[in-house]
Amino acid sequence: MENKSFTTRVKSFRKSLPLPVRMGAGWIKRKLSPHRLWETKEFKDYFDFLQKSQWWSLEEHKAYQLEQLKKLVKFAYENVPYYQRSFREKRVHPSDIKTLDDIQILPLITKEEVRNHVDEFIPIGIDRSKLRVWVTGGTSGMPLKVYQDLFPTCLVEEAFSLRQRLWADYKQYDRKVTLTRDPKNRVQKCWDYNNHENEIVLSSFDLTENNMFQYFNVIHKFKPRIVVSYPSALEIFARFLKRNNLSLPPLQGVFCGSEALFPGQRALIESTFNCKIFSSYGMSERVADATECEQHCGYHVSMEYGILELLDKNSDPVTEPGVSGVVVGTGFHNDAMPLIRYQMFDIGVYSGEECACKRKAPLIKDFKGRIREYFVGRSGKLMTLQLIWAGRHPVWSKIREMQFTQEVKGEILAKIVRAPNYPDEEVIRELREEVGKILTEDEYKIDFEFVDRLPLTHRGKLNFLDQKIPLDFESISASGY
Ligand SMILES: [Zn+2]
């Protein structure tokens, strides 16, 4: 016990030191005790591989994918009870996979299917006690447990993130600010310095006016090269900066992922942070990954990560530029729970263009968010949430956070956390006018409610639309998306 309280005292002493002292101590610590992932041979080898493979020709990418797919299907067929059953039912054998297009003979699987048979997705003979369980989709639907082998999963995720960060001239261990997870479990304040990675961690759970002033000050002291976060948290912080006329020190880029990035958010964040956004697409199920490069003309599919398909409502591949499809992913790196042709509820737009950066990995023009990010009008007509956030009206700076909820067709409740010093009536009047341009009166009745806090997901994200009406890709395609 005595020992523990001594450790606690040392920790709180360390945290009370001025930031430059902690940064100096962090530099020494990194020299003396190597990062337990980044400094391993496995990580360095894999990262070197990714640095080379990003310049492969499309044929080289495809040959690599085919080899990985064959290996994965064989592994699943021999070791994973779910696929042993489903491949038998569909009369599929690993030897049927001769080209990449042959992936289409494999059955599609849904989140529902995985949730109902989660144990059957774990290979026979694997030691489950060594696996990490990741729970996805807490507030946005029924949660799903995803089992992962911790070390290889972290290695792959980190290597792909680092590769993208290098595209912004960032280097490993350069100063970065991360506004995501909640560091409160570890410290008694809303931010902390992580000396292993030379990173300031800001809690996205605490975006109050006071804390955001603290975040602003610590960012100025720290002078990070990049900021990493979710679009929803960045947007809240960007609005705060804008309404208080504050500017950040120069940044090389803002990196965001885990949520769809709407055009209005991109414009707001890039203008207030005064740098470009490097967006990425990925999901906790670890089946597909795509990242924006320094040319910012779409998302390059990470071909070494997995196979990303875009399918139309008949489950045929989308091949026409500008046409949307639902994302289906097959990940190469999670042997603890292989997911083959896993259907996401995300919509991607096919590009077909070549990127000026000369990387040949195909581009997805944009990710339009999840299927549930649509409003349903009285007549059943759908409207994408994207259009709401495209607005540049000054009313947005008078709002700190906002969330729409829909349970009934044509009826929407907008919950608002107002920024200080603006009258409620003024905010409602301007907002009704602005939102009403998209969610028109003939289709929608909108109610507004002021609240002190909005519910966040367990990872500190804010869902802009809590859509309770079940939607599917077919109804969305029918409405023109
Ligand atoms: Zn590019």
Tell me the CATH number at 390: 3.30.300
Cβ neighbours for 292, distance < 8 A, ≥ 6 positions apart: 164, 277, 278, 279, 280, 298, 299, 300
- Residue 234 C-alpha to ligand 1 middle, in angstroms? 24
Query: Which pLDDT score, from 0 to 100, does residue 182 have?
Result: 64
Is the pLDDT assigned to residue 206 strictly greater than 90? no
Cα–Cα distance, 22 to 49 (Å, whole number): 34
- Residue 290 C-alpha to ligand 1 middle, in angstroms? 11
- Residue 357 C-alpha to ligand 1 middle, in angstroms? 4
Q: What is the mean pLDDT of residues 145-158?
A: 89
Is residue 55 one of the residues assigned to a domain? no
Which helix (H) or strand (E) segment is 211 a member of?
helix 209-222
- Residue 199 C-alpha to ligand 1 middle, in angstroms? 27
> Which span out of 149-153, 274-278, 453-457, 468-472 was modeled with the highest average pLDDT?
274-278
- Residue 287 C-alpha to ligand 1 middle, in angstroms? 21
Is residue 458 one of the residues assigned to a domain? yes
**Which domain covers residue 426, as residue numbers?**
374-478
- Residue 348 C-alpha to ligand 1 middle, in angstroms? 17
Cβ neighbours for 173, distance < 8 A, ≥ 6 positions apart: 30, 197, 198
Residue 454: count other Cβ atoms within 10 Å of its Cβ.
18
Predicted TM-score (pTM) of the model is 0.86
Of the listed ranges 161-165, 295-299, 312-316, the one predicted with least confidence: 312-316
Nearest alpha carbon to residue 261 among 277, 249, 273, 274: 277
Burial class of residue 241 (count of CB atoms within 10 Å of its CB; 0-12, 13-18, 19+): buried
Is residue 471 one of the residues assigned to a domain? yes
- Residue 42 C-alpha to ligand 1 middle, in angstroms? 27
- Residue 355 C-alpha to ligand 1 middle, in angstroms? 5
Is residue 425 one of the residues assigned to a domain? yes
- Residue 222 C-alpha to ligand 1 middle, in angstroms? 30
Q: What is the mean pLDDT of residues 406-419?
A: 92
Query: Which pLDDT score, from 0 to 100, does residue 365 have?
Result: 95
- Residue 363 C-alpha to ligand 1 middle, in angstroms? 8
Q: Identify the band that residue 64 occupies on the pLDDT scale cut at 50, 70 and 90.
A: very high
- Residue 252 C-alpha to ligand 1 middle, in angstroms? 17
Is residue 452 one of the residues assigned to a domain? yes
Query: Which pLDDT score, from 0 to 100, does residue 250 have?
Result: 97
Is residue 410 one of the residues assigned to a domain? yes
Is the pLDDT assigned to residue 16 strictly greater than 70? yes
Query: Which pLDDT score, from 0 to 100, does residue 205 have?
Result: 78
Cα–Cα distance, 243 to 399 (Å, whole number): 10
- Residue 54 C-alpha to ligand 1 middle, in angstroms? 10
CB 383 within 8 A of CB 374: yes
- Residue 47 C-alpha to ligand 1 middle, in angstroms? 19
Cα–Cα distance, 111 to 122 (Å, whole number): 15
- Residue 226 C-alpha to ligand 1 middle, in angstroms? 19
Give me the long-range contacts of 38-44 (CB less than 8 A, separation at least 24). Answer: 38/158, 38/172, 40/155, 42/151, 42/155, 43/155, 43/158, 43/159
* Domain count for the chain: 1
Is residue 461 one of the residues assigned to a domain? yes
Q: What is the mean pLDDT of residues 452-479?
A: 77
- Residue 254 C-alpha to ligand 1 middle, in angstroms? 17
Is residue 401 one of the residues assigned to a domain? yes
Burial class of residue 185 (count of CB atoms within 10 Å of its CB; 0-12, 13-18, 19+): exposed
